[in-house]
Chain A
Amino acid sequence: MSLAKLISQCSQVLASRAFLLFFASLLMISISIAYVASEPRPQERFLSISTLGSKMMLKDYYPTGSSTIDVGDNVNWYLNVYNRMGQVEYLSVRIKLLNSTQAAPESDTLYQSPEGYIFELKQILQNNSTWAVPLTWSIKDVDKEQDHIAIKSLEINGMVVDDLNIRSTSGGFRMIIELWRYDANSGDFAFDWDSNTDKRNTWNQVWFKIKQNR
């Protein structure tokens, strides 16, 4: 096919009404698809926290294998925080020490535990990223009475927390790990977030007992 013939054929194609109609339709569809594809798609927003044992698995939470620990035993955990909120999040992990009767957080009502936190870790986390925090803690001082045990002092990640008086008659305690996020509207950290469909929160708890006899 000669060049002249090719040019002539192309001109015929370009000038034809059917081609123009086809091109206009395809152009409209393409622009619509390109525009929709360039817009961010809504996704389910969530934050998650998981507490892992010393080998970063859902086991080996206690140094001796038993949930009953002694004063001075080093407990090694890892906290894994995952951000899927679609944006950078300013997060705070708050650790609370509770006995078995103190109020824990609630997932249904979104209430945080009313007790104060004994340790806090802050970090900003990009979307679709995980923040792994090693957490080493040990009981430093307890008051053992006949009818109760009270934790007086604790060390977490090298920081000694004194002035505690968490009593338990059953000997059962729990570490509550709450995940808070910075809410730019209120200018403060909040215990819940909007998942696009409803409000949610996330927290963990790990139970332990203290050895009665030294």
Chain B
Amino acid sequence: MYNIELLISIVLLLTAYNTDSNIDKESTSITTSAEIAFKSINQAQLAGADVSDLVKRFNTALDLIDRSEKSMFDSCSSNKDCNDKAITMFVEITNDAHFLKEQVKDLASFQKLVNLGIYTPLSAFVTSVAGYWSFKAWKSHNARRFLEMEIKVKEK
């Protein structure tokens, strides 16, 4: 799934670089690469990754597109330059999001396994020993107290 998305992103990037005048095509490339990047971020986040850096970069790319539409060329030199930079950023975000997702997925599964397989049984064992031992101690204390009792006849 990811490889197909990455391939589409790269093709879009190349298309954007190779067509000079076709604005519609470039616009489609931007939209598609943005959508792929967004989906990748979402998948990474659902896997449990911290995607704050990716979100920041995505919004920077959106800002580039916005500046291109408004012809505000301070962080890029021309309309095409702004859009190319944005598409490159979207492709990089897609790539990084996938890498992050795989990294976190393994870590999350391992963490869950450790929690369920080691920490939980260990805590249950320690609690059981402490609880049972306390119960036994309380029981023997009560028994000892009972045995040490003296029978007294109540005087009327």
Q: Which of A31, A87, A124, A187 contacts B116 (CB 8 A)?
A: A31
Binds B, one of A17-25, A61-69, A145-153: A17-25
Are B51 and A22 interface neighbours, CB within 8 A? no
Q: Does B123 touch A at the CB level, under 8 Å?
A: yes
CB-defined contacts of A4 to chain B, threshold 8 Å = none
Are A124 and B45 interface neighbours, CB within 8 A? no
Give 1 or 0 for each of A104-126: 1 = CB within 8 Å of chain B CB.
00000000000000000111111
Question: Which B residue's beta carbon lies closest to that of A122?
Answer: B62
Tell me the dominant secondary structure on chain B's binding face.
helix
Are B70 and A30 interface neighbours, CB within 8 A? no
Binds A, one of B4-12, B98-106, B130-138: B130-138
B121 to chain A, nearest CB (A): 6
> What's the Cα separation between A89 and B116 when bound, in Å?
32
A156 to chain B, nearest CB (A): 11
Q: Does A208 touch B at the CB level, under 8 Å?
A: no
Q: How many residues of B contact A (CB 8 A)?
A: 33
B42 to chain A, nearest CB (A): 5
Question: Which A residue's beta carbon lies closest to that of B51?
Answer: A88
Are B120 and A31 interface neighbours, CB within 8 A? yes
Are A182 and B41 interface neighbours, CB within 8 A? no
CB-defined contacts of A10 to chain B, threshold 8 Å = 129
Are A34 and B120 interface neighbours, CB within 8 A? yes
Known: A31-B116, A88-B55. A124 touches B41 (CB 8 A): yes
> What's the Cα separation between A26 and B130 when bound, in Å?
12
- Tell which of B58, B119, B132 has the most Cβ of chain A within 10 Å: B132
> What's the Cα separation between A34 and B39 when bound, in Å?
30
> What's the Cα separation between A16 and B133 when bound, in Å?
11
Q: How many residues of A contact B (CB 8 A)?
A: 31
Are B128 and A88 interface neighbours, CB within 8 A? no
Q: Which of B42, B127, B132, B136 contacts A184 (CB 8 A)?
A: B42
Q: Which residues of chain A from 1 to 60 have a CB within 8 Å of any chain B CB?
A: 9-10, 13-14, 16, 18-19, 22-23, 26-27, 30-31, 34-35, 38
Known: A87-B45, A88-B45. A184 touches B39 (CB 8 A): yes
Are B132 and A38 interface neighbours, CB within 8 A? no
Q: Does A90 touch B at the CB level, under 8 Å?
A: yes
Q: Which residues of chain B from 115 to 150 have a CB within 8 Å of any chain A CB?
A: 115-116, 119-121, 123-125, 127-129, 131-133, 136
Are A87 and B131 interface neighbours, CB within 8 A? no
Known: A13-B133, A123-B59, A126-B51. A19 touches B42 (CB 8 A): no
CB-defined contacts of B34 to chain A, threshold 8 Å = 90
Are A30 and B124 interface neighbours, CB within 8 A? yes
A88 to chain B, nearest CB (A): 5
Q: Which of A16, A30, A34, A90 contacts B38 (CB 8 A)?
A: A90
Q: List, sorted by A's number, 14 A–B pairs whose CB atoms are closer than 8 Å.
A: A9-B133, A26-B128, A27-B121, A30-B124, A31-B121, A35-B116, A88-B45, A90-B34, A122-B62, A126-B52, A126-B55, A158-B72, A159-B70, A182-B35
| 16 other A-B residue contacts (CB within 8 Å) besides A23-B124, A184-B39 | A19-B128, A22-B128, A23-B128, A23-B132, A26-B124, A26-B127, A27-B121, A31-B116, A88-B38, A122-B62, A124-B58, A124-B62, A126-B45, A159-B70, A182-B35, A184-B38
